[in-house]
Amino acid sequence: MSTLIALVLGFATVPAETIDRIRLDRIDVAVETAIKADKCPGAVVVVIHDDVVVFRKAYGHRATTSEKVAMTADTVFDMASLTKPVATATSIHILIEKGKLKLSDKVATHWPAFAANGKEAITVEQCLLHVTGLTADNAIADYKGTRAEMLANVANLKLEVPVGTRFRYSDVGFIVLGELVERVGGVSLDEFAAKNVFTPLKMTDTTFKPAETAKVRIAPTSSRAGKPIIGDVHDPRAFALGGVAGHAGLFSSADDLTRYCRMVLRGGELDGTRVLAALSVKSFTEPHAVPGGKRSLGWDVDTSFSSLRGDGFTKGEGFGHTGFTGTSLWIDPPSKTAIIILTSRLHPNEKGNVTELRKQIGTIVASAILKR
């Protein structure tokens, strides 16, 4: 990576003395093998160690239909479920800092209609931990009419099991949290996150509902109504909700996520700007026991969703998240390391799969760390 690029992006170029950069080059083989096997058309991989970007590389193609377009390191991707921690859970913790919300608050306190059908006891914390007893995804038929009508259908859902008795990763729970951000924060989730997270961190590529002029750098996902999806959220429920939802809808780039990860690893501050208090970062990321594993208040820690950690990082000490479109990040605070892997695995035929690639890269990075 050139010094000029690094200066523009705002991160250090001093070589990290505690990581084996030759081992990191093994990432090349892992990604190129996945591309040749049609697991994804291309990828962008960034590794941060000790507050230094030690690896940043683009592979393959951003688009492959009609005209092939090379992948670039500044490609913007549909983040899918990375929306949950980066936009929604971060915003929830900012509202907690502002004294407008508590983890113990019952959702129905701020959204009375949500109490319907036995949900009056569900708390903010339970939504963050995916232990609400709600379904993973309610019927797509519930997402017709106005946004208010769609959210009324969410508020009227029934529990599948008693609250707190089961961990089930739930888009619905984060749709609820996105609505809470608006009700408590006074503005929509996209506005709140932009003002309180993305703008302070200078995450200039990160937004819901990208502008038409920005689509030239956006990786397509699949298709909708016979047309390629470029710059519109792939998730059908988020799309029906107008592109802004607590579970999906965010677009971002590897360089922007680099700034976000550095902020988290630095205890909530970056370049003199504090986004989260250090105690909030601790609350946001420390593990909590859930049935069958561990989650934090917005992140996966050690459950069936943790394969992206790979082999080498200690279970229960790091945290991360994946996105359905092929995005992921893993943060390991003990080694001051973060791994960002962005692909558009759904392009062009929805048959890609990067589960094994994430694990391979996680294992490679862990093996390259010389001192912890």
Which DSSP state fits 225?
T
**How far is residue 187 from each of residues 162, 239, 253, measured CA to CA in Å?**
32, 19, 24
CB 259 within 8 Å of CB 202: yes
Rg from Cα positions in the chain: 20
According to DSSP, the residues that pair with 313 across neighbouring strands are none
Q: Which pLDDT score, from 0 to 100, does residue 9 have?
A: 46
Q: Which pLDDT score, from 0 to 100, does residue 13 have?
A: 45
Phi, psi of 316 (to 5 degrees): 85, -5
Q: What is the pLDDT of residues 290-345, one digit of tens each?
A: 999 999 999 999 999 999 999 999 999 999 999 999 999 999 999 999 999 999 99
What band does 90 get if pLDDT is binned at 50, 70 and 90? very high
pLDDT at residue 192 greater than cutoff 80: yes
The per-residue pLDDT of the chain, averaged, comes to 95
Q: Characterise 117 by phi-psi region: left (phi > 0), alpha (psi -120 to 50), beta (else).
A: left
The burial class, CB within 10 Å (0-12 / 13-18 / 19+), for 191 is middle
> For a pLDDT cut of 70, what percent of the chain falls above it?
95
Dist CA 341 CA 60 (whole Å)? 14
Please give the domain boundaries of the chain with CATH numbers for all domains.
3-80+210-233+250-368 (3.40.710.10), 88-189 (1.20.58)
What band does 32 get if pLDDT is binned at 50, 70 and 90? very high
Dist CA 359 CA 350 (whole Å)? 20
CB 343 within 8 Å of CB 289: no
What band does 6 get if pLDDT is binned at 50, 70 and 90? very low
Q: Which pLDDT score, from 0 to 100, does residue 372 have?
A: 65
Q: Which pLDDT score, from 0 to 100, does residue 67 have?
A: 86
Question: Residue holding tokens 């558009």?
Answer: 344
CA angle 83, 88, 90 (to 5 degrees): 110
What band does 361 get if pLDDT is binned at 50, 70 and 90? very high
Q: What does pTM read for this prediction?
A: 0.94
CB 24 within 8 Å of CB 54: yes
CB 38 within 8 Å of CB 348: no
- Please count the residues of the chain: 372
**How far is residue 232 from each of residues 180, 211, 235, 312, measured CA to CA in Å?**
23, 10, 9, 37
- Structure token digits, residue 230: 């470029």
Q: What is the pLDDT of residues 114-171, one digit of tens each?
A: 999 999 999 999 999 999 999 999 999 999 999 999 999 999 999 999 999 999 999 9
Nearest partner of 208 among 227, 188, 223, judged by Cα: 188
DSSP per position, 274-309: ESS-HHHHHHHHS-EEETTEEE-SSSEEESTT-GGG
* DSSP strand pairing (223-224 vs 69-70): unpaired
Nearest partner of 196 among 346, 89, 298, judged by Cα: 89
Instruction: Indicate the SS3 state at residue 161.
Output: coil
Q: Which pLDDT score, from 0 to 100, does residue 57 have?
A: 98
CB 323 within 8 Å of CB 171: no
